[in-house]
Chain A
Amino acid sequence: MMRREDIVKFVVPTIVIIVVILSIVILGGLASSNPDGFEWAFFEFANVSEPESGFEGMWAFLGEGPMVELFTGVIGVLLVFVLGLILFKATARKE
């Protein structure tokens, strides 16, 4: 397993930087709310009707807003990090 020094010097600071940047972008309203490339190309430019989705996402019950977006974003970052660790640890070549 990697050295504790590497975790302190690289892994933890990078995760903190990600969360700080995410917070600034979301709470500062810097992220665009325009439709993304796919949505724009189809549902607006090509005038295709958007299908009704049966699943709105696991956080739909929280509603909308910057704080909800920040909360779900940070949870997602941590979730992907932890799941990545578990998955790659289980599959990587053992020394």
Chain B
Amino acid sequence: MHVPDGVLPLWLQILMLIVSGAFLIFSLIMINKKLDERVVPYIGVLAAVIFAAQFVNFPVPPYSSGHLIGATLLAMMVGPWVGIIIIALVLFIQALYGDGGLLMYGLNLFNMGVFSCLFAWTLGVLIFKTARKKLSEKSALLLSAAITSYIVTVAAAFVLGLELMTEPAFGFTALVAITSIHSIIAIGEAILTVVILEYFVRAKPTLIALLKGSKTRDAADVPIKPLSIDSVQEG
């Protein structure tokens, strides 16, 4: 899903750099308020895991390939704000490696980081809380990770397809193609997410924001109150 330079109009590249830049600054503010310094080395490890997992492609029959994005894994483990920063770091190194354009950095960060992490957190929490009523906490976590990572990957590809339609050369066919191929890649994303999450559940469950007693739970808090009838009446 790494878009190279020269594919999309300059105005969109600049717009996405500004949007992603604003989210990066907000994420850093949130981290500064909430992330405990003691979990920093674990988060460094997690960033290394994401880079390695994005470095190698798995085959997608018959002619394509895919790799882990990792947004759902990060959102569920350390929350969306830390997740956005980790994806930003990984994409920056990848851009220096020639994978994904330097000017496209903002757009790639928006699709794989900002949109994916925030959507994954919202959807993941919803599914996790629902599944927890019937299953154990760890089973609910793995189930919600599998479902969320599949949906988020397809949704991110759809968003990319919409962005690409700003270029007249790319039509509806391209949108369908990129969404369709990612509906297969998303199966790999779901499997890898569950496998890596399972490792962390066994090795360091206190790192996982969604689980009770997590050291990263504070950092995962999203300061957005759901709109309720009470809040409307108060307004």
Contact = CB atoms under 8 A, between A and B. Distances in A.
Interface of A: 1-2, 6-7, 10-11, 14-15, 18, 21-22, 25-26, 30-42, 44-46, 48, 50-60, 72-73, 76-85, 87-89, 91-95
B59 A42 contact: no
Most buried by A among B2, B55, B181: B55
A95 to B, nearest CB: 6
Contacts of A91: 28, 31-32, 35
B40 A2 contact: yes
Interface of B: 1-7, 28, 31-52, 55-60, 63-67, 82, 85-86, 89-90, 93-94, 96-99, 101-102, 157, 160, 164, 169-171, 173-174, 177-178, 180-182, 185, 203-204
B41 A85 contact: yes
Contacts of A37: 1, 60, 64-66, 157, 178, 181-182, 185
Contacts of A50: 4
22 contacts: A2-B40, A2-B42, A11-B45, A18-B49, A22-B55, A36-B64, A37-B178, A40-B64, A42-B177, A42-B178, A46-B170, A50-B4, A53-B101, A58-B96, A60-B98, A73-B56, A76-B94, A76-B97, A80-B47, A83-B89, A93-B36, A95-B36
Contacts of A54: 5
Given A18-B48, A38-B2, A73-B52, A89 B96 contact: no
A6 B41 contact: yes
Contacts of B44: 11, 81-82, 84-85, 88
Contacts of B102: 55
Given A37-B181, A38-B160, A87-B89, A48 B31 contact: no
Contacts of A80: 47-48, 50-51, 89-90, 93
B35 A88 contact: yes
A51 B32 contact: no
A81 B47 contact: yes
Contact of B93 (A18, A48, A76, A95): A76
B63 A44 contact: yes
Contacts of B59: 32, 34
Given A76-B93, A76-B97, A91-B28, A81 B36 contact: no
Q: Lowest 3 A-B CB distances belong to which pairs?
A: A57-B98, A51-B6, A32-B65
Contacts of A34: 57, 59-60, 63-65
A36 to B, nearest CB: 5
Contacts of A81: 44-45, 47-48
